[in-house]
Structure formats: structure tokens, C-alpha cells
Structure 1
Amino acid sequence: MTSTGLGSLPGDDIREWTRVLLDAVDIPFLAELPARPYGDMVSRAVAVLTELAADLQPAGWRLTGGSDPRASLDQRRARSLLAEDLDVLEELADGYTGPLKLQLTGPWTLAATVELPRGDKVLADYGARRDLAEALALGLGEQVASVRRRVPGAEIVVQVDEPALPAVLAGAVPTASGWGKHRSVDGPGAVELLSLVTTAAPTVIHCCAERPPIEVFTKAGAAGIAVDISLLNPAAWDQFAPAAEAGTTLYAGLIPTTGPIPDPEKAADPLVRRWRELGLDPELLKKVVITPACGLAASPSTADARRRLDLLRRTAEVVAEAAENT
């Protein structure tokens, strides 16, 4: 059994968190620290967009309609922060070998968040959202190549965060006026753009929802799916079962991000119980990666977040033991 986190963490000390993550989890990752200016998940993605320019408005990020990467001071600052974090990773991961995870906001969540130059979301414009997805894929490829040069022993894994995709598919993303909703996107259309960002490295798609679009994720080329186990409804489990049997790895969000910290047995129980109810192969349960339910940025302190990360491996041991006894 293995463990990892899902990206965001509290505080602003990237150096200390990088040290912690290289030791505390089985799949270390480049932390996102949204407490810092330009450290949130959308700003990280905008930093990766080497072919599109954007600036930061009071309502959030907006494309500026140009391709000059120097067009926006905010975008340059986001890129600078990402570069500094990669420098820290290169220094502290010197000699590291093994899996290493990078997180990136997915094309549909980005399209539902970033605005067009004239207003409204990129989601409203078919051509613009494709341009955004292509630029994101290109930038991701460059980032993966850079990390491979910086940490030669790393086996890169990419986590694509798509919290907004269920709303995109359901036609539930509000328009700029707030009076209407953007038109829904069908499954094949969602797969088309999402598949652009699954080719740079083995990719895990993360979506905390009651019914994440698992079929869309697998058709887009996801090697793994990260979910909050406490949220999944029976229909989602019914979709996941054939995916697991086809080789898709489950990243099981078992450790709550806030509130009381459970013991390992209590944390593992929802996964083990449901696995047995579905009659899934116990050998596949051994391949599940244990994670927090979502990012840990909302933890009240770095010490609290560290305790939740420390619980991951102990929970993984309980799950592994349960697999042996199933």
C-alpha cells in the first residue's frame, strides 16, 4: 500500500513542507500553498500557460487576448513563484529516486474559472476553451520535462484537479450575469479536451464529488482516479468497479481534512467495507493509494496537517491487512 497527499497544504514555508513530504508520504509531491499570493491552484495553472497571457482582476484571472508572456505582471509573479518552488524541490530532492507528483488544475475547471478578455468564462467559447486546454497541455509538458531534468531519479506522476467538471457536464456553471447557466458539455466533448493533459506522464484525475464522471476520466486516459470516499454514492461505486478491474488505480480519500482525526481502523473502514460489498478482488485493494479526503489547506495549522499526513501510512497498513484477510 502507498500514500500521498492531494496538493494543497497550510502555511507558507515551501522549504519545510518539501522536506516533510519527501519523508512523510510514499509519493511525495510539489506542495501548493494557497496562503501565499499566487500560490493557489488556479494561479499555478496560469503560471504554466506559456502560450497564453492572463492578468488578475478583482473577480479572478482573465485572459488578455495576447500571447506575450510579459503582458501581465501577475502572471510573471505566478511563474516566478512556481520557479522558486521548483528550485527548492531540485535542491532538497537531490538524489531522490521514486514517484514524484505534480498537481495541475484541469482544462474544464480552468475554463469554468478563468474569464475571457471581454468577460464571462472561457467555458462559453468553444474555440477559447480548446486554446486554453492546448496551452495547458503544452505548459504541462514543459513542466514535466523540467522536473525530470531537475530530479533525474523521479518517476513523474501528474494529478489533474477537476472539481468543476461535474457542474460543467450538468450545465450548472453560472454565467457572468448570474441569471443563467452555461450550456452543458457532453461526455465525448469532455473527454476530448481532458485527454490533452493526460499524455505528459501517468495521470491521476482528482474530483471530490458524490458522483465524479469516472467514465470520462478513464476514456481520457487517466491511470488513476482520486476521490473523497465519504462522498461517493452507490452509482459512483458502480462506475468505479469496472474501472478498477480494468487496472485504474484508486486514490482513496480517507482522512478528513478538518475536524477530529480518526484512528486508522475507523478511517479505513468505509473503503474496506464497500470493497467487500462489491465483491472486488482483494489483490486490487492492495494497490489503492491512501490520501486525505481533499487538499489540506483548510487545516487549522501545519501541525494538524502533518498529523493527518502521518495517519496515511498507518491507515494504508490497516487496508493492506484487511486485503490479506478478505
Structure 2
Amino acid sequence: MTHPTLAVAGPAAWPGQDALAAHRSSLDVLADPPSGLVGAPGLLALPGRGPWASPLARTLALCEAMPAALEPHGWRLGTTADGTLRRAGRTLTGDVEALALAAAGYAGPIELPVLGPLSLAAATWLPVGERVVSDDVARADLAASLALGLSRHVAAVTAARDLGVVLDGAVPSGEAAVGGDADSGAASRTGTVVLHEPMLTEVLQGAVPTFSGMSRLRALEAGVVASTIREVAEAMLAAGQVVVLAVPPDARVIDVVGPVLAAAGGGVQVDVMALDRRGMEALAQQVENGLGVRCAVVPHAAPPQAGDVPADPARIATELLQRWRWSGVVPPRLTVLPRSGVASLTPARARETLTLAARCSVALGDALA
């Protein structure tokens, strides 16, 4: 039997205030993982710095020609960008530079996490009225703006990494194909864009609250959700990126987005251990159709307390593997990563959690041997 490729990935967000230190901590684990593993480092958000550093603000700052302003009830689209959104853009640029500096000498792919188009629309308000997700035209415009902005973001990250490579004494990726190996020191142009869709269940169920909170917005049809994801996924494919959708553990969500992502050569990121029987069956069926899966199952490292039993990587790996074997399918690539919420930890606990994820991946290899 052919064993799956084993990989370990990091979170989208990190605690603390220092972007360079955060990226160095992550890269220490992921850029040089234990033997037999593939590491997947990425651009980190540090939301503890302020509202301009939140995933929502960063994603809005990426959107092309879609100004917004932060109001007491949240982000609202408008005619001009306010100071918070401009600061979000500057912070994102600084984080890209911090990543490029921390990743000097690392030529592998980089993951770029952003808020997905539907959760972005559900969390953002129209210039006048309800949430963007409630307006068909505005929702489509925001998705198109995100797709264009993301394409430019990919190019900007590649350029920043190429500059770091040049300063490090290697050949930039744009020149690597001329008389040399593209992996000889140049930053890889192929990476992963992770679209985080934490509100996708509410969008499909019609459970997104209105402005007053007294009612709920209408549910979006499955076809609308699928076509919105497809638009952004196709733009990322054109930019040379693999697309992963981080979704809630919900069978219907997997049914709706799975075929789109499988057709695009992408995958979902989900807490597999939180799926019920129906959800696991849906996931297994989509994996058989070519969908990739990233398992966000690694618990957070907790401060040691008297009598506490430390998290056991072997137990986590065994339970995950049992879940897959029960489904009748083991994906050709098994990627593990921490559960969401790493940004709520201390930097030291975040580093320990990421190290635990790497140890879980090693334990998976041992269980498969």
C-alpha cells in the first residue's frame, strides 16, 4: 500500500506584536520540519495589534477599488477608505516584508491566508443598509474585487521574497529558469491561498443576523455559494496558487464546496474530529473525487498544571487515522495543523502548539509504518 505524503501547516494568525519574531518562530518549525515531513509556512496575521490587523481588515485592504471604513458596528463599504483601512494596508505590507526577511534562505512555497468571499460579505456592511451578503450585485462585486486584489497580493509576496533572495545572494525566481534549477535558491511561485470561511454554515442556513439582530438574512442557494468560491479559486489558479477553503465541520458545506475545490485541484481545511458521521461520509466521498484535506485537529498547548497529562502526539495521530480508516478512505496527502484560535495564546504557547503539530505528523508516519 502506498502511504500518504505527510505534511504539517501553521495557523493563519499568531499572538503578539512583533511580526518578524512571529514569522521566525513559525519558520523555525515549518521551514525545516522533521525528516519525512513537508512543512507549509505562511504569512501570519497578528490581530492582537489592533482592529487594523484583524483578518477582516487585512482582507478588505487587499480588495481592489473597494474602500471601507470602520464604524462602531463594524466595517462598512463606502466611497473612501478611512485611516484604519489604510493602516491595515500598511501593516499587511510590513508583514509581507517581515515574512520575506524571516524566510531568507527558504525557497519553498508560502501559504497566504485571507477571509473568503462569503464570510467577507457576511461580515461587511453595505454603504446604506444591511450586510453585503444580502445584495446580489454587491456580493458579486466584492468577490471580484477580492479575486483581483488577491492576484496582486500573490505577485507582491513573490516580489518581496525575490528581493530577499537577491539580498541573500541567490537568483530571483524570475531568472531561475535561465540556465538553472528553479529550486536552487529562488522563492517558489507556487503556493497555497487559504480562504477562511467561518460563516459559511450561517450563510447556507440563512442564520446571518440582520443589523438589528432581531431577524436573519435569507439563505444563499448552494449554486450561488459554489459559483462565488469558483470565481476566486479560478483567479488563484491563474496566479499559480493552490486553493484551500477553511470551513466549519458541516456536511452540507462540504457537499457544496467540495466539487468546486476538487475540480480546481484544491482542498478543504476542517477539524475532522468534529465532523459527525454524515460529515465524515461527505468528506470521504469528496476525497474519492480528488478533494484534498487539511486536518485542523491539533489541540492548543496549555500551561502545565498539577496533575495535567500533556497532549500525546501518538494518541492524536491514532485517533485521526482511525477516523479516516473508518471512512474507508485515507487521503494521498495527510496535512495536520493546529485548531483555530492560536492567536489567543501566548507566543511561547503558540510555538509549542506548532511543535506539537509537527510531532503529531511524525506520529502519523509511525502509525502508518
TM-score (norm 1): 0.92
Query: What residue in structure 1 maps to residue 49 of structure 2?
Result: 36
Contact 1:63 1:117 in 2 (8 A): yes
1:294 paired with 2:340, answer yes
In the alignment, structure 1 segments of 5+ residues that lack a partner are none
The alpha-carbon deviation at position 95 of structure 1 amounts to 3.4
Q: CA shift at 1:3, angstroms?
A: 0.4
Q: Rg larger in 1 or in 2?
A: 2
Q: Equivalent pairs: percent with the same residue?
A: 32
Confirm whether residue 104 of structure 1 aligns to residue 114 of structure 2.
Answer: yes
1:230 to 273, 285, 289: 273
How far off its partner does 1:258 sit?
A: 6.2
Aligned residues: 316
Moved more, 261-270 or 102-111: 261-270
| Partner of residue 324, structure 2 | 275
Is 1:128 the equivalent of 2:142?
A: no
Query: Alignment partner of 2:257: what SS?
Result: helix
CA distance in 2 between partners of 1:293 and 1:88 (Å): 24
Distance 2:224 2:357 in 1: 36
1:210 shift after superposition: 4.2
Report what 1:46 is aligned to.
60
Show CA shifts across 1:141-178 (max 9, x none): 10011112222423321000000011100001111121
Shift of 1:79: 0.3
Give ranges in structure 2 of 5+ residues lacking alignment.
1-5, 31-38, 162-172, 174-186, 303-307
Tell me what 2:181 maps to: none
Equivalent position to 1:6, from 11, 18, 25: 11
Q: Distance in 2 between matches of 1:322 and 1:3?
A: 16
Any conservation in 2 of the 1:257–1:298 contact (CA below 8 Å)?
no
> Given the alignment, which residue of 95, 118, 125 partners 1:115?
125
* Matching residue within 40, 43, 54 for 1:27: 40
Q: Given the alignment of the two structures, is residue 164 of structure 1 paired with residue 164 of structure 2, yes or no? A: no
Alignment RMSD, CA only?
1.7
Q: 1:305 aligns with which of 340, 344, 350?
A: 350
After superposition, where does 1:144-155 map in structure 2 within 5 Å? 144-151=154-161, 152=173, 153-154=187-188, 155=190
Pairwise CA distance, 1:257: 3.2
Contact 1:249/1:289 (<8 A) preserved: no
CA offsets 1:221-245 (integer angstroms, 9 cap, x no match): 3512111123111111111112222
Partner of 2:90: 80
- Give 1:212 deviation, angstroms: 6.0
Shift of 1:49: 1.2
Q: Residue 297 of structure 1: SS of its match in structure 2?
A: helix
Moved over 6 A (4+): none
